[in-house]
Structure 1
Amino acid sequence: MSDHDIRAVVAIDFGTTFSGFAFAHKASSEIETNNRWIGREGLPKTNTALRYDSNLEVTAWGEPALVDGPEKKKKSKDAQQIYTVEMFKLHLTEMSKKSKPPLPPNMSFKKPIKDYLFEMDKLIQETIEKTWPGMRKEQVLYVMTIPAEWREFTKGVMRECAHEAGIIASVESENLEFTSEPEAAAMHCLKVIEEHNLQTGDSFLVVDCGGGTVDLTTRKLRGDGTLDEITERTGDLCGSTFVDREFLKWLGKKLGESAMENVKNNHYGNLQYLIQKFFCPRVKFLFDGDPSNFKNIDVDIEHWCPALLKYVTGDAREQMEEEDWLIELDFNAVKAMFDPVVKKVLKLITDQLKAAAPSQRPSAMFLVGGFSESKYLRKRIKEEFLNQVPIIAEPRQPMAAVVKGAVAYGLKMETVNTRVLKWSYGIEILAKWQAGVDPKKRRTPDGRIYRFNRLAERKKPVEVNKEFTGEFKPVYPNQTSVIFKVYYTKRNWVRFCDDPGVRFLDLPDVHLGINRPIEFGLTFGKMELKATACNKTTGQVYQTSWRLRNFAT
């Protein structure tokens, strides 16, 4: 695919709790955000949720899938089983299995991702046809955003799901690119830096506060209008949904953890009705941390989550019946729901500021993402950091910042000049075993040892398309081929490829007919990693890319 073949860019922000898409024609570069969602007309995103019938066929998606009011009694014993599935993006994280959201029996975590992308793509195609009649799918570049903390294999999973959803024609398609969520947010913030008088050489911190993850990146402005990443982008699972979880924990202490677990497993839609229609609009969205602005509110369990009633037992049931199933929610309880999550966000920001060199400390901090609209979160961030960062601002439409920035990235990828590596990369080599230095158990029968040979170091800024190379020679005189195995790790010092935290990158093996020596290199492109091996005697070059295959977990 040539850049000349692309006429439009569509960005998909596949979020933990909310997702959306935006688009632009390359001729005008005017970015539009989709605001046509069933149940959420006029908003830039809809819920990342699906409803399935007993045959695991999708019956609703977006907000209609998630909130359907308190469950009514079934009219017959033959009524179909309904499954509500949300936050399935968390299955791509390293969160414990117990903490991940439930899925219907025997459902792979890839199925809801594929199904959701399929439903979204139908709306995308309707939008494209309406906006630019006759445009072919191969003339559209899709850009998908991924969290900063996702492991390497997740891009392969998303590419596979995008293919199965019909977004791209093949897994290897060049019509799909990836950008990290904080990088996309930084691209969006480029449009507002002039409003804050940032100059060439100034740096700014972007804090993308989403529903599941909070991602951060620090970028420096260059004179040519491009951006350098000057610290390692970071993130954690501390988005707004974790405040919801604290609310459910609080209810569990009042009603019993087993009661909450039963409702979660058997009446998930009713539980989400309680969160989406009561807790979020009446409590979470309004909380600003000022006790004088807070009025105690009763949680009417019988109204908002009647499915709970049959699971509450013992003393808790007696207490609830005496109080007509009303639980008073006071200021201290709500603050305690926010504080563990907010504390994590503050630590992420602190670590980012510490990671920047004194001469590159950010002149501004931009808060984007849906959670950034929390009055309490914004207040705590300003209390902690306004003496360190002179400008703390929220660009317009913070909820759409990532998806609009992803379109901007697709329109002009060269804006990103450098990235800071999140992993160290290296290859497995067969070296001579050294007595007194190397473990005896690792010695091969012919007196050698397999080691990790680092080529690229984590936390180092790397120019896009920068190549890291090393020259290697065959081990045996009669050797006719070489296989390079590539590994990656977050650890700064690694000796062996099976050390803890070292992961193998599954890719088509690079085989070489050789007459020695061989130069092996890794090139860090836009959002892909390319391996090149060159027989320096014959000049023959072998290449492969990690973008084209699923990554090993």
Structure 2
Amino acid sequence: MVCYSWTKLLLDENARATEFDDPSLKRSEGEGMLKLPPGKTAQDVVTDFLREVYDWIESYLAKRISAEILDMTPMEFWFTVPAIWSDQAKSATLAAAKAAGFASGDEDRIYLIPEPEAAGIATLKGFSEGSSVARAQAGDGVLICDCGGGTVDITSYKVTQMTPQLKFEELVEGVGGKCGSTYIDREFHQWMSKTFGQRFESLKFEKTGPGSRFMKDFEAHKRDFGYSSNLDQIYEINLVIPGARDSALYDTDESIVKLNG
């Protein structure tokens, strides 16, 4: 089985490159990463994924409110997209969502919203509630830095209205690039290749690629990084690397890769 990952970025592969784009993207192209299954486009893969999401949502709601009520209930579906997304990528995202089944009812509607704008709405809503210590008000400026997995967007907004409905406008054109947190994953893979060479590179993709136990363990350590005051902390990740020698970076008895914080 081959796991395909980071497919979302391929929806916008013809977009203009920016100075902020991660240069390791091209270097990291390999089996399953930034690649497509034979005979499939990026839009096809996204459609397949979203179809599973839609089927789960439909099944869940049918159990909660009954299939009959679900069928007669108009629904709105909102999809967030990176602020730097091109019109081509937005169109492909919308088409994939519709092909997957979203907004298939006569009165259903589907919308796209930039990710920083969605983050702004969610954040400012909290600052508008009575229990909030800091209250946002009309005229306030807000800077949203949306650090995702594949992209990072920075956008500034001015709040124009808080009640009865939150409204804000973009102050200046946002900037961003394809330099999300998966950059760290790609650099980690590069480090593993440099450290263990062909012994690591020859391992099956399902053992080392996105979604593997190896990368899930790395993700857990990545999220915890910085919370410990112990600068000498060792992070351990299980991975059998046949032929690897025992060293400060690898325990052959336990098959553990050791990372120094």
Task: Give the TM-score, by structure 1 length.
Answer: 0.38
Quick check: which one's strand share is greater? 1
Q: SS of 1:220's equivalent?
A: strand
Cα distance change on mapping 1:120 and 1:327 into 2, 3 Å: closer
Please say if residues 215 and 236 of structure 1, whose CA atoms lie closer than 8 Å, have aligned partners that are also in contact.
Answer: yes
What displacement does 1:238 show?
2.6
- Is 1:328 aligned to 2:258, yes or no? yes
The equivalent of 1:90 in structure 2 is 9
Provide the residue aligned with 2:20 in structure 1. none
Contact in 1 for aligned 2:80/2:112 (Cα 8 Å): yes
The counterpart of 2:122, out of the listed 167, 185, 188, is 188
Contact 1:182–1:233, Cα closer than 8 Å, also in 2: no
Distance 1:328 1:236 in 2: 32
Distance 2:108 2:90 in 1: 14
What runs of 5+ residues in structure 2 fail to find an aligned partner? 14-24
Task: For residue 107 of structure 1, give the secondary structure of its aligned residue in structure 2.
Answer: coil
Q: Note if 1:153 corresponds to 2:153.
A: no
CA drift of 1:230 comes to 0.7
2:206 to 249, 252, 269: 269
Task: Report sequence identity in percent.
Answer: 26
Aligned 1:252-331 pairs, distance under 5 A: 252-256=193-197, 258-263=198-203, 267-271=204-208, 272-276=212-216, 278-281=217-220, 283-288=221-226, 292=230, 294-302=232-240, 308-309=241-242, 317=244, 324=252, 326-331=256-261
User: Judging changes above 3 Å, is the alpha-carbon distance between structure 1 residues 138 and 97 closer, same or farther for their aligned structure 2 residues?
Assistant: farther
- 1:246 is aligned, of 166, 187, 201, to 187
Q: Which residue of 2 aligns with 1:214?
A: 152
> Quick check: 1:218–1:230 contact (8 Å CA) kept in 2?
yes
Q: Answer yes or no: is 1:237 the counterpart of 2:237.
A: no
Say which SS state the counterpart of residue 155 (structure 2) adopts: strand
Q: Give the conservation status (yes or no) of the 8 Å contact 1:219–1:227.
A: yes
Distance 1:323 1:144 in 2: 45
Q: 2:173 is aligned with what amino acid? A: E
> Does the Cα contact within 8 Å between 1:185 and 1:206 map onto a contact in 2?
yes
Matches within 5 A, 1:449-468: none
CA distance in 2: counterparts of 1:301 and 1:132, whole angstroms = 45
Report matched runs for 1:112-151 at 5 Å.
112-133=45-66, 134-136=69-71, 139-151=74-86
* Number of matched pairs: 231
Cα 1:191–1:323, aligned 2, differ >3 Å: closer, same or farther?
closer
Q: Deviations over 1:100-135 (max 9, x none)?
A: 523333432222211111111011112332344313
One-letter amino acid matched to 1:185: A
> 2:219 corresponds to which letter in structure 1?
C
- Higher alpha-carbon Rg: 1
What amino acid does structure 1 have at the position aligned with 2:141? S
Distance 1:143 1:228, change over 3 A: same
- Report SS of the residue matched to 1:200: coil
The residue that corresponds to 1:226 in the other structure is 167
What's the secondary structure of 2:186's corresponding residue?
helix
1:299 positional shift: 4.2
The 1-side partners of 2:60 and 2:238 are apart by: 41
Question: For the Cα contact (< 8 Å) 1:287–1:294, is it kept in 2?
Answer: no
Go from structure 1 to structure 2 and tell me whether the alpha carbon gap of 1:141 and 1:135 turns closer, same or farther (over 3 Å shift). Answer: same
Quick one: which amino acid aligns to residue 154 of structure 2? L
Contact 2:214 2:238 in 1 (8 A): no
State the shift of 1:207 in Å.
1.8
Give distance in 1, aligned partners of 2:205 and 2:72: 37
How far residue 228 of structure 1 moved from its aligned partner, in angstroms, is 1.3
Corresponding residue number in structure 2 for 1:109: 42
Amino acid in structure 2 at the alignment position of 1:115 = D
